[in-house]
């Protein structure tokens, strides 16, 4: 299934660079999510958007800035990142928020390395 | 606090059966999900349980006991392609997923 597409797949950047991660879903879903996945740690929820409105910001540093121009697209803008931000960044979508049996569908992620 | 516990790694033999356990502590509960994640790929949905009991889906089954805060994923007739990480996640009262760190399953011939 290629319902959720993330670009780029790999990104190497210096601490002073600015870059953006892109996510697009083709499933007609109304909710979109950004997660951080580090080795041997649980998925960390970063941001949630429902019908283009941000509903969650789990104490994420301001060097991460999300943008959701419409229900199909989600961006994560990166600026002045730290080495500990190196991780796999996953985007997901679901039909809605607040119903139990709707699974989240994930993209393949962007592997981010900070030099 | 909210917490999900599952084993870090398990090894099993091709053709055998393996059970991956998951215990959870959440503020409220609206169901439990299992996902499979192959290395370098997206997590993919396997199962959802909200009522007590066993749900069977081909070679994979998932069990839930709400009173014990416990679930397991049962994989039968293991194949090499089942080598992956298996993620347990519980949906809390705010419909937010609380994730475990995942169980890496290694299948040996």
The pLDDT, as a whole number, for residue B6 is 98
CA gap B76, B59 in Å, rounded = 5
Max CA distance (Å), chain A = 42
User: What is the average per-residue pLDDT within A102-109?
Assistant: 94
* Model confidence band, residue B25 (pLDDT cutoffs 50, 70, 90): very high
Identify whether the C-beta of residue B42 lies closer than 8 Å to the C-beta of residue A107. Answer: yes
The pLDDT, as a whole number, for residue A99 is 75
Residue of A nearest to B45 (CA): A103
Interface test mutation site (partner A, options B88, B95, B102, max chain A beta carbons within 10 A): B95
The pLDDT, as a whole number, for residue A59 is 86
What is the SS3 string spanning A18-29? EEEEEEEECCCC
The tens digit of pLDDT for each residue in A19-33 reads 999 999 999 999 999
The tens digit of pLDDT for each residue in B30-69 reads 999 999 999 989 999 999 999 999 999 999 999 999 999 9
* Model confidence band, residue A74 (pLDDT cutoffs 50, 70, 90): very high
The pLDDT, as a whole number, for residue A68 is 96
The tens digit of pLDDT for each residue in B59-98 reads 999 999 999 999 999 999 999 999 999 999 999 998 889 9
Contact list in A for residue B102 (CB cut-off 8 A) is: 40, 42
- How close is the nearest chain A Cα to the Cα of B31, in Å? 6
- How close is the nearest chain B Cα to the Cα of A76, in Å? 18
Please give the residue that has the higher pLDDT: either A56 or A83: A83
Nearest Cβ partner for B31 among A56, A98, A100:
A100
The one-character DSSP state at A38 is -
- How close is the nearest chain A Cα to the Cα of B44, in Å? 7
Q: Give the residue among A37, A35, A53, A55 at the shortest CA–CA distance from A45.
A: A35
The pLDDT, as a whole number, for residue A56 is 77
| Structure tokens belonging to residue B63 | 């069990």
Contact list in B for residue A104 (CB cut-off 8 A) is: 45, 97
The pLDDT, as a whole number, for residue A102 is 87
The pLDDT, as a whole number, for residue A41 is 93
């Amino acid at each position: 299934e290629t319902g959720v597409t993330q670009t780029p797949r790999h990104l190497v950047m210096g601490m002073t660079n600015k870059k953006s991660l892109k996510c697009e879903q083709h499933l007609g879903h109304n909710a979109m999510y950004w997660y951080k996945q580090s080795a041997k740690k649980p998925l960390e929820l970063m941001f949630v958007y429902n019908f283009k409105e941000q509903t969650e910001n789990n104490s994420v540093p301001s060097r991460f800035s999300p943008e959701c121009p419409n229900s199909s697209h989600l961006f994560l803008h990166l600026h002045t990142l730290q080495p500990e931000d190196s991780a796999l960044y996953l985007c997901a979508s679901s039909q809605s928020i607040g119903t139990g049996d709707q699974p989240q569908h994930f993209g393949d992620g962007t592997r981010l390395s900070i030099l | 606090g909210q917490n999900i516990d599952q084993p870090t790694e398990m090894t099993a033999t091709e053709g055998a059966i393996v059970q991956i356990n998951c215990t959870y502590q959440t503020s409220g509960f609206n169901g439990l999900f299992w996902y499979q994640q192959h290395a370098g790929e997206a997590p993919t949905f396997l199962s959802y349980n909200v009522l007590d009991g066993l749900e069977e889906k081909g070679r994979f089954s998932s069990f839930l006991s709400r009173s014990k805060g416990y679930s397991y994923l049962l994989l039968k007739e293991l194949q090499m392609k089942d080598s992956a990480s298996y993620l347990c996640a519980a949906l809390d009262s705010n419909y937010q997923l609380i994730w475990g760190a995942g169980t890496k399953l290694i299948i040996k011939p």
